[in-house]
Chain A
Amino acid sequence: MKNKQVVSALAKKRTRNLVIMAVLNVVSFILFAYLPGKSQNVTFNFVLGDEWVIIHSWIIGSKFGAYCFSGLAVVFLGVAFLRARQGKKLGASALAYALSIFIAFMCWAAAGAAISVTGLLQGGLFLAIPLVFGSLSGLICERSGVINIAIEGQLLAGAFAAGVVGSLTQNAWAGLLVAPLAGALISLLLATFAIKYAVDQVILGFVINVLVIGLTSFASQRVLTTDSATWNSSPIFSTIQIPVLSKIPLIGPIFFSQTIIVYMLYVIVAVIQLSLFKSKWGLRMRAVGELPVAAESVGIDVNKVRFRNVLIAGLVAGLGGAFFTVGSSGAFSRQMTAGMGFIALAALIFGKWTPLGAVAAALLFGFADQLRTVLSITGTPIPSEFMVMVPYIVTIIAVSGFVGKVRAPASDGIPYKRGGSH
């Protein structure tokens, strides 16, 4: 009689992750530490402005640094291995491992150059901001049970409306005011067709994106570029230095030297995180996204709740769109959101449909994107074409199951019809 041992899928996945980590570690030893011929110094700078305490630059030999941190990674890999054998989650050990490998990589990639760590992080946050807005919009929709593929369209509509209105009125605040409304208008389309007419939500979202891209590109080409002084030169918000906080080393320049839109984002993230789990609004949102018939049975109008939440999600994404125009460049250009709506969707999934998780994922994606820019400027051994792929590769790896157990809201994407369950 044969009696094979059952190897559970979870243990398999953990083993697979450990193997991948070990292979990466070998790569880091060979590629980052052993192969480079001559060691050059790498400089990491931590100061950007006039922080209270000046953290001194950190200079390290590239080969020495790569060996050190590859070695450190081996230690964390060992810890991760021990944890896996005890059947525990890899948790912090995996994070520490990833950080060590990353620093070893930086020693190699930035050999002979200076890297501003603060600048890198600040740029990463900058690129993550629209992603956070987008993923929060997705979160509100999907927690309510409506799939939102139209984040891209909502962002783009917000960017366009803010840019044009800001330009016409020569007032950035006016632009900021109409951007959420533009996002909500796109949501109105989504909600009407997805909830009222039960159209397939994935196809619908896609079509809405194509529509918004088409409309804004047309307007941009025919109107904005012909008289850009009137139509496409909005004033922008200047950065606001928060007293005291902005002087904290490292953290200050990154988080507290930003525009009003970013500060609004902090508030929105906090409000959504708290209310999702601790308020009537959040409770009902999750209820209609999980088991709408149960919500109906206690007298909740499921489709009304869904409709309203999809509109709210549009407001959030529309506001995020304003960041592209009145929050940074001041001018609208065709397809300026460049697929960020889809990356935001990936961030939502990577963040397991929680606000803070989505923020963390968005920050990671933004950081990967900024790293590409920084490294292409300092010059690296990696062809720039590969660097362009980095954020997307991170996205694919993230979404393809590196995140562990992920459960979408149970009724995500399923239209609800009253009395149709029996």
Chain B
Amino acid sequence: MSLELQGITKRFGGLVANDAIDFAVADGEIHAILGENGAGKSTLMNIVYGLLQPDAGTISVDGKELTIHSPLDSLAAGIGMVHQHFMLIPVFTVAENIVLGHEKTGLFGKLDLATAREEILRISQEFNFDVNPDAIVEDLPVGIQQRVEIIRALIYDAKVLILDEPTAVLTPQETDELLNNLKKLRESGRAIVFISHKLREVKAIADKITIIRRGKVVGMASPSSEQSELASLMVGREVDLKVDKEPAKIGREVLKVSHLTIQDHTGRTLVNNISFHVNAGEVLAIAGVQGNGQSEVAEAMLGLRDHVAGSVLVDEQEIIGKKVVDCLELGIAYVPESRELDGLISTFSIAENLILDTHTSAPYAKFGRYFPDAVKKVALERVAEFDIRAQSVADSASSLSGGNKQKVVLARELSRPVKLVIISQPTRGLDVGSIEFVHERIVTERNDGKAVLLFSTELDEVYALADRIAIMFKGEIIAIAEPTISREELGLFMAGVSSQKGVSA
């Protein structure tokens, strides 16, 4: 069976998300769609899946044109989708999730889960998926949750399987397993659409690559193309994938964390007795799969969490128990992982966001009076220094693109006299140009003799920036390694497999 898209166009107001896109995938083929975040990949697939309606264009399966109004139509046409954000009800069992929408009932309307259970076990065995139909979905690792989505598509007899950024939430090991599973599915004769912005994976799995930029197909490439070639097609100009970094000039110990333990409000231990230090002039990257306690550690560094024990010393001053404002006073810059939620106040202007941390002091305020002109003057300087592309500093922060939002946060945090920079997932969802800028800026801070604590789930980013790498797994630091550690070994650590190599924490 083959899926063919012709001239798919979708507009959101003035923005053209998809502009006359043509695309086709055939049986037994893995066809990758490569593009940056915001290039229009997800919009395209949501149209195919029936969650969005196109303004123009046709979708055909096996040469027959389809009208897809809802996911039911696409399911009926044999199109299955594995979503970037899993479409599974967290509190349901695997079996309940799979029957949802296609429920069979028995006597007195009693839900029939037995048939689904058998089907799940059958497919699970066929592809070696190891999925328990009675497990509650929210208790499962994300890799397994993804398999549940794949099983669901297979149970409803999907001949075309679409995977939207499937590796975003996976460990390197889980990614390898997924790629192997996709190969098995290809052998079983299914057509697979693999949507990603990760060059390495696309090269590893795809038979064909279609590259999308700003809603348009800009070309096809073969998987044997060089990474730099794919990257420049994706971004639209030559890109330098390497960050230039001089050797670290290690200074004094700035941050010392000892026996840090963090619990949530129900008493679950999220971070268990971890210790590490960061010196001036180096970047310590904390690597790990999302949700292994990194966010909690980052927040604890600034006094944002309750139920914290242990010690966090910044220049020998204890932070635990201090108020956030006192932590900032000590010279800590903090770039949170969610710029929209925690980094900015979206409805405030760019200028106001740039002085959120210093708005109570001169020159912005005196005796309780606020001086907008002083704010504007400083804002204009920052906008120039950090290359923030905005119409006016009086525009609301929500009007900015992701990359420019992140620059606003960086500009605010790095304009204070700081000695420790805590930066969490700094390039998540950014375009390549912004990633280059952010990476260079982090290296600049390091070269200026600041201690940098970087939290990242992206291995490429960790390798590009780190002077030392700590790996977190299930709330513990299971190893601290040099950046010369191989990807394979780092991947094993991220999956919780300890080895003798690396300096054990």
Interface residues of B in 244-286 (CB under 8 A from A): 258-259, 261-269
| 5 closest residue pairs by CB, A with B | A8-B267, A298-B101, A299-B72, A10-B267, A280-B103
A278 at the interface (CB under 8 A from B): yes
Interface contact tally, CB-CB below 8 A: 115
A5 to B309, CA, bound (A): 6
The answer, among B52, B88, B263, for a CB contact under 8 Å with A6, is B263
Interface residues of B in 19-66 (CB under 8 A from A): 42-43, 46, 49, 51-52
Contact A294 B71 (CB under 8 A): no
The answer, among B42, B51, B259, B318, for a CB contact under 8 Å with A297, is B51
**Closest Cβ of chain B: how far from A228's Cβ, in Å?**
45
**Proximity string of chain B (299-328) to chain A, C-beta cutoff 8 Å, 1 when within and 0 when not:** 000000001111100000010100000000
From DSSP, what is the main secondary structure of chain B's interface residues?
A: mixed
The verdict on A6 contacting B96 (CB below 8 Å), with A294-B89, A419-B52 known, is no
Which of A65-73, A281-289, A319-327, A342-350 forms contacts with chain B?
A: A281-289
Which of B105-113, B167-175, B393-401 forms contacts with chain A?
A: B105-113
Instruction: Please name all residues of chain B whose beta carbon is closer than 8 Å to the beta carbon of A261 when the two chains form the complex.
Output: none
A422 at the interface (CB under 8 A from B): yes
Instruction: Please name all residues of chain A whose beta carbon is closer than 8 Å to the beta carbon of B71 when the two chains form the complex.
Output: 296-299
A233 to B145, CA, bound (A): 61
A295 at the interface (CB under 8 A from B): yes
The answer, among B42, B43, B70, B100, for a CB contact under 8 Å with A284, is B100
B383 at the interface (CB under 8 A from A): no
The answer, among B42, B100, B259, for a CB contact under 8 Å with A295, is B100
A390 at the interface (CB under 8 A from B): no
Interface residues of A in 1-42 (CB under 8 A from B): 1-11
A278 to B310, CA, bound (A): 47
Chain A contacts to B: CB under 8 angstroms: 1-11, 275, 278-284, 286-287, 290-291, 293-301, 405, 410, 418-419, 422
Query: A3-B309, A275-B109 provided; 18 other pairs, C-beta below 8 A?
Result: A1-B259, A1-B311, A5-B309, A6-B263, A9-B267, A11-B267, A282-B111, A286-B92, A293-B87, A294-B89, A294-B100, A295-B89, A297-B51, A298-B75, A299-B101, A300-B101, A422-B42, A422-B52
Contact B43 A422 (CB under 8 A): yes
**Closest Cβ of chain A: how far from B166's Cβ, in Å?**
16
Contact B100 A405 (CB under 8 A): no
Contact B109 A287 (CB under 8 A): no
Contact B75 A405 (CB under 8 A): no
The verdict on A281 contacting B109 (CB below 8 Å), with A9-B266, A287-B100, A298-B101 known, is yes
Contact A290 B90 (CB under 8 A): yes
**Closest Cβ of chain A: how far from B446's Cβ, in Å?**
28
Instruction: Please name all residues of chain B whose beta carbon is closer than 8 Å to the beta carbon of A293 when the two chains form the complex.
Output: 87
The answer, among B96, B263, B309, for a CB contact under 8 Å with A283, is B96
A126 to B231, CA, bound (A): 73
Instruction: Please name all residues of chain B whose beta carbon is closer than 8 Å to the beta carbon of A418 when the two chains form the complex.
Output: 51
Subset of 22 A-B contacts with CB under 8 Å: A1-B258, A2-B318, A3-B309, A6-B308, A8-B267, A8-B268, A9-B265, A278-B110, A278-B111, A279-B110, A279-B111, A287-B89, A290-B90, A290-B92, A294-B88, A295-B100, A297-B83, A299-B70, A299-B71, A300-B100, A422-B46, A422-B52
Count contacts on B: residues with CB < 8 A to the other chain: 48
A287 to B307, CA, bound (A): 33
Instruction: Please name all residues of chain B whose beta carbon is closer than 8 Å to the beta carbon of A284 when the two chains form the complex.
Output: 100, 103
Instruction: Please name all residues of chain A whose beta carbon is closer than 8 Å to the beta carbon of B92 when the two chains form the complex.
Output: 283, 286-287, 290
Contact A3 B310 (CB under 8 A): yes
A422 to B320, CA, bound (A): 38
**Closest Cβ of chain A: how far from B93's Cβ, in Å?**
11
Instruction: Please name all residues of chain B whose beta carbon is closer than 8 Å to the beta carbon of A5 when the two chains form the complex.
Output: 309
Contact A8 B318 (CB under 8 A): no
A76 to B21, CA, bound (A): 72
**Proximity string of chain B (131-150) to chain A, C-beta cutoff 8 Å, 1 when within and 0 when not:** 00000000000000000000
Contact A6 B265 (CB under 8 A): no
Instruction: Please name all residues of chain B whose beta carbon is closer than 8 Å to the beta carbon of A9 when the two chains form the complex.
Output: 263-267, 307
> Which among A10, A11, A301 has the highest number of chain B CB atoms within 10 Å?
A10
B91 at the interface (CB under 8 A from A): yes
B237 at the interface (CB under 8 A from A): no
Contact B258 A295 (CB under 8 A): no
Instruction: Please name all residues of chain B whose beta carbon is closer than 8 Å to the beta carbon of A405 when the two chains form the complex.
Output: 266
Minimum CB distance partner of B46 in chain A: A422
**Closest Cβ of chain B: how far from A404's Cβ, in Å?**
10
B102 at the interface (CB under 8 A from A): yes
Minimum CB distance partner of B97 in chain A: A294
Instruction: Please name all residues of chain A whose beta carbon is closer than 8 Å to the beta carbon of B310 when the two chains form the complex.
Output: 3-4
